[in-house]
Structure 1
Amino acid sequence: MQSNSASAAPLEGAFSETQTVSFDLKKTVPWILFVIFFGVLNETVFNVSTPKIAEQYALQPSGVSWVVTSFILTFGIGSVIYGKLSDMISLKKLITIGMLIYNVASLLGFALQASYPLVIAARALQGAGAAAIPALIMVIIVRYFRVEDRGKVFGMLNSTAAFSVGVGPVIGGFISSRLHWSLLFLLPLFTLIAIAFFRRVLPDEAPKPGKVDIPGAVLLALGLGLLILYLTDTRPYYLIVSLALLLWFGLHIRRAEEPFIDPSLFAKRKFIRGVLAGFILFCTVMGIMFVIPLMLNGVHGLSTGAIGWILFPGAISAVVFGTVGGTLADRRGNPFVVYVGLGLLTASLVLMSALAGQTPWLTSGALLLTYVGFSFIQTALANSVSQTLAPEETGVGMGLFNLVGFLSGAVGTALVGKVLDKRLLDFSLLPTVTLPSAFLYSNLPLVFAVVILLGGAVYTSAYRRG
């Protein structure tokens, strides 16, 4: 049975066991969704503006990609850092600091647009601040909302995030084409009005004594940063140094008194399999989202603005059906919702494969199933993973889950890019696809479907009983 309010269990683990907090879902959730929308928006809102940015600074594609990559890198690493800090410092203080950093960086990016290196620095600082929003919102849900309400809230959260990612290119394309791309830096300023709300409703938690493992955080950040750099600029020494740093990080956390990531997390089989399933599934979906605009342009010759509108119906549908997925997760269990999502995703990929080369609006219809299926999977998978964690592990555990999600986007995009560059699947396979320019874009979804089923098998191995 659903409730209109969520009374938290006593705070455990990192904070006082006698303190409780009660949230009214109707009043709290809209603010959560508001800040999530603007927190996630910056992942994609600059994507369609890269040609104009490259033109202004006379950059090659590999150079301008750092407008996106610098944000994603600090966003991903920051999600783990905020998660770790949330076990020691009050959420009220952390979310205030993160949102202030986000907005100061946004103002700096707009003011310093004459210098591309400073724009990149501002984007990186934006990511460091924006990371506080999804990371700490997840901790708030896991720490303060009842288990029976989490699925519903996660559903609304993930549907809003999916909508934000989907509508980002539409907003970015409109502002860049009608005004100037630098105005995109000012969009996060809307989040300032939410700070007062969070400072009012979040409790004054007594912090747990502890310290942040700075060497561990640096090793992880550098290792992952070089890995992402390797994925965008495939020079072998980037990969070698990255793997060496990540190995060093693994050895470090086993010896550190208070490691950045507790090695015991890696011994939790359900948690690790959930994270691995998330990596496989998110990697594939990000690959799909990367290849669809290229297909619409390469096969149909659509402009950036037209592509945004083809993607828009799916993004809208995610808002509605993400909530449905959360409600189903509460009533029927997380595995049921994951399997429904897998079915919808697989069906959408088969349709896209068979319809490649046909009118773009048929692709738009197939993408409805993609967005709905992905929102179902995101909701139920986050809920499944959160339930494997002890209260004192939720901050860093969900932060790590978020980080893997961000990395999967970079990996999926890079791998699909390599396939497209080498045209590995450019041959006729399905009789329904007769346009030679569509062969490659028809075969890729079939590969995606196989990988989706692999991710589903990994999930099933850990969570088939709920």
Structure 2
Amino acid sequence: MTEVDHSKNIGASKWMILGAVMTGVIMGPIDGSIVNVVLPSISRSFQTNYSVVQWVPTIYLLAICSFILVYGRLGDMLGYKRIFLTGLSGFAGASLLCGLSTSIWMLIVFRAIQGLTVAMQMAIGLAIVTEAFPPYERGKAIGIYATAIALGLMVGPVLGGLIAQYLNWRFVFYINAPIAVISLVWGYRVIPPGKRKPGQQLDIWGAVLAFVSLFSILLYANRGKNWGWFSPQCLTLLGISVMFGGLFFCVERKSEQPMLDLSIFRNRRFTLACLSSLINFMALYTVVFLTPWYLSDALYKHVFAVGLVMLAFPLVTLFVGPLSGSLSDRIGFRGLAFAGMSIHALGVVLLSRLDGSASSLDVGWRLAVCGLGAGMFQSPVNSAVMGSAPRKFRGIASSFLAVMRNTGMAFGIAVAGAIVYSLAPFTTSGHAGPFTGRELSLFLNGLHWAYLAGAGFSVLSAGAILLAWEKN
């Protein structure tokens, strides 16, 4: 059955499939960003050191990224619906357990389980959407899907601020359960049942090597500030990641049923679009990381006001993403993606020029420029990645794109943070803002150069996408 025939059989329900997948997928980015706002409340509740509490978001990110590739391969083997619904069920249960935790270590363990389960949705969601829509509508559908991730990342802090102000921190986790149940029932009814492919086996050695390599490099990016980028612990993590990554590619090259079929990288469009997406999220998360910090500690905004200003980014992306994706179905992806990253670079440069007297409006319209660029870029590139992957590899292609996204997030924050910490060392000492006098000047200087680094990532991403042409 061809892709077009498949989509005709689904008929109008393809939009229902998209809705069900988006409802499940949006919880991952919301939960990744909402918890940071309530970390002080969690620390006080369990009367524990803040360095221990930081493992609550860290373990979640590590669990997601380390297992995404495995789930993508399992989806290709067992069917996407089974993996997606299993993830939803586990996520609902883990969220309730997080809210019921009676110690910080119990919360960290359940938070890891939460990451392991939500990774199933994040790995498979894009593959389900790609299967449901014909090629001439794929960009539009993926554009709408991408808005769920962008919106979740930005709405999380706003919800976290409201919950921190009016409710108990445990409700950050409780609110996941009903949403997961709705998506579970909805998905069970509308997502087509997948077929288990006979004779397929999971590459256990490849899965283990990928897990160790990804876990090590992401832990390095996440904890480098605290441990020191060139400390023995961090250099060991970096060495382990490189060694196990090299072993992974050696094993996959020789395996009869590899977890990640390396032949997929012979496709120039797929490889360079994924690379461009990685760098794009480094640029994106420079903005996502630095701007709330600037609003809070340089402009003295309350946490809820910070969240409202940050909404300027996803609200523009929400409208632009589907339009850009739909347009890419007609004219191709490279021109739109290049223009998007160029606009994003301009927005980040404009953010770098802000000082301590800026208004919320000054920040908001610059974020809107960044959101315009991101919306123009992401939908066409995601569509190009999924469209260039053979149908039998769509699960692993979806999960690999998710790895690029999450790795870019981690390294974008790490690089931006390292620049600020080096130029304004007092920011690493636990000293909280608002900053004044010389400290404010040093902080703003650090932000200036960190933003410019983010603009540089945008330029590199635009360059990579220009090279993503296909040979005849």
TM-score, L = length of structure 1: 0.89
State the alpha-carbon separation in 1 of the partners of residues 443 and 69 from structure 2: 42
Aligned to 1:363: 363
State the alpha-carbon separation in 1 of the partners of residues 122 and 209 from structure 2: 23
Q: Which amino acid aligns with 1:363?
A: V
Distance 1:465 1:347, change over 3 A: farther
State the alpha-carbon separation in 2 of the partners of residues 173 and 465 from structure 1: 50
State the alpha-carbon separation in 2 of the partners of residues 239 and 104 from structure 1: 34
Between stretches 116-125 and 236-245, larger displacement belongs to 236-245
Give the paired residue count: 446
SS of the residue corresponding to residue 88 of structure 1 reads helix
Between stretches 26-35 and 243-252, larger displacement belongs to 26-35
Are the equivalent residues in 2 in contact too, given 1:67–1:123 (CA < 8 A)?
A: yes
- Which stretches in structure 2 are left out of the alignment for 5+ residues? 427-439
In the TM superposition, what are the counterparts of 1:71-220 in structure 2 within 5 Å?
A: 71-112=60-101, 114-189=102-177, 190-209=179-198, 210-220=200-210
SS of the residue corresponding to residue 44 of structure 1 reads helix
Q: Which amino acid aligns with 1:82?
A: Y
Are the equivalent residues in 1 in contact too, given 2:216–2:238 (CA < 8 A)?
A: yes
State the alpha-carbon separation in 1 of the partners of residues 354 and 112 from structure 2: 39
Q: Which amino acid aligns with 1:360?
A: S
Aligned to 1:445: 451
Aligned to 1:455: 461
Are the equivalent residues in 1 in contact too, given 2:67–2:211 (CA < 8 A)?
A: no
Are the equivalent residues in 2 in contact too, given 1:159–1:321 (CA < 8 A)?
A: no
Distance apart, 1:286 and its partner CA: 0.8
Aligned to 1:9: 4
Distance apart, 1:278 and its partner CA: 1.0
1:356-401 alpha-carbon deviations (Å, 9 max, x no partner): 3322320111001112211221111101111221111111122111
In the TM superposition, what are the counterparts of 1:230-241 in structure 2 within 5 Å?
A: 230-231=220-221, 232=223, 233=227, 234=229, 235=233, 236-241=235-240
Distance 1:239 1:60, change over 3 A: farther
1:303-328 alpha-carbon deviations (Å, 9 max, x no partner): 32221122123222222222222222
State the alpha-carbon separation in 2 of the partners of residues 314 and 410 from structure 1: 19
Distance 1:464 1:259, change over 3 A: closer
Distance apart, 1:443 and its partner CA: 3.2
Distance apart, 1:253 and its partner CA: 1.7
1:353 paired with 2:323, answer no
Are the equivalent residues in 2 in contact too, given 1:36–1:134 (CA < 8 A)?
A: yes
State the alpha-carbon separation in 2 of the partners of residues 277 and 137 from structure 1: 20
Identity among equivalent pairs (%):
24
State the alpha-carbon separation in 2 of the partners of residues 128 and 215 from structure 1: 19
State the alpha-carbon separation in 2 of the partners of residues 108 and 334 from structure 1: 43
1:411-466 alpha-carbon deviations (Å, 9 max, x no partner): 1111111111111899xxxxxxx966523323332332222111111110113899
Q: Which amino acid aligns with 1:378?
A: Q
In the TM superposition, what are the counterparts of 1:17-96 in structure 2 within 5 Å?
A: 21-96=10-85
State the alpha-carbon separation in 1 of the partners of residues 465 and 162 from structure 2: 39
- Which stretches in structure 1 are left out of the alignment for 5+ residues? 1-6, 13-18, 427-433
Are the equivalent residues in 1 in contact too, given 2:347–2:367 (CA < 8 A)?
A: yes
Distance apart, 1:302 and its partner CA: 2.2
Are the equivalent residues in 2 in contact too, given 1:163–1:315 (CA < 8 A)?
A: yes
State the alpha-carbon separation in 2 of the partners of residues 117 and 248 from structure 1: 33
Distance apart, 1:48 and its partner CA: 1.2
Are the equivalent residues in 2 in contact too, given 1:219–1:249 (CA < 8 A)?
A: yes
Aligned to 1:315: 314
Distance 1:381 1:424, change over 3 A: farther
Are the equivalent residues in 2 in contact too, given 1:110–1:182 (CA < 8 A)?
A: yes
Are the equivalent residues in 2 in contact too, given 1:356–1:441 (CA < 8 A)?
A: no
Distance 1:465 1:380, change over 3 A: farther
SS of the residue corresponding to residue 181 of structure 1 reads coil
Distance 1:435 1:199, change over 3 A: same
State the alpha-carbon separation in 2 of the partners of residues 436 and 131 from structure 1: 39
Aligned to 1:431: none
Distance apart, 1:71 and its partner CA: 1.4
State the alpha-carbon separation in 2 of the partners of residues 332 and 194 from structure 1: 34
Are the equivalent residues in 2 in contact too, given 1:349–1:448 (CA < 8 A)?
A: yes
In the TM superposition, what are the counterparts of 1:239-318 in structure 2 within 5 Å?
A: 239-318=238-317
Q: Which amino acid aligns with 1:439?
A: N
State the alpha-carbon separation in 2 of the partners of residues 28 and 89 from structure 1: 19
1:225 paired with 2:215, answer yes
1:124-177 alpha-carbon deviations (Å, 9 max, x no partner): 111121122232221112223101111111111111211111010000121122
Aligned to 1:429: none
Aligned to 2:390: 390
Distance apart, 1:251 and its partner CA: 2.0
SS of the residue corresponding to residue 355 of structure 1 reads coil
Distance apart, 1:11 and its partner CA: 6.5
Q: Which amino acid aligns with 2:107?
A: V
Are the equivalent residues in 2 in contact too, given 1:335–1:464 (CA < 8 A)?
A: no
Distance 1:107 1:289, change over 3 A: same
Between stretches 238-247 and 435-444, larger displacement belongs to 435-444
Are the equivalent residues in 2 in contact too, given 1:318–1:371 (CA < 8 A)?
A: yes
Distance apart, 1:279 and its partner CA: 1.0
1:328 paired with 2:334, answer no
State the alpha-carbon separation in 2 of the partners of residues 459 and 439 from structure 1: 31
Q: Which amino acid aligns with 1:83?
A: G
Distance apart, 1:353 and its partner CA: 2.1
Are the equivalent residues in 1 in contact too, given 2:423–2:442 (CA < 8 A)?
A: no
1:165-219 alpha-carbon deviations (Å, 9 max, x no partner): 1010000121122211121111221121222332222333331121112222122
Distance apart, 1:10 and its partner CA: 5.3
Are the equivalent residues in 2 in contact too, given 1:162–1:371 (CA < 8 A)?
A: no
Q: Which amino acid aligns with 1:88?
A: M
SS of the residue corresponding to residue 467 of structure 2 reads helix
Are the equivalent residues in 1 in contact too, given 2:14–2:132 (CA < 8 A)?
A: no
1:42-69 alpha-carbon deviations (Å, 9 max, x no partner): 1211121122223334455543222112
Distance apart, 1:341 and its partner CA: 1.3
Distance 1:438 1:83, change over 3 A: same
State the alpha-carbon separation in 2 of the partners of residues 425 and 439 from structure 1: 12
Between stretches 309-318 and 359-368, larger displacement belongs to 309-318
State the alpha-carbon separation in 2 of the partners of residues 65 and 266 from structure 1: 36
Distance apart, 1:117 and its partner CA: 1.6
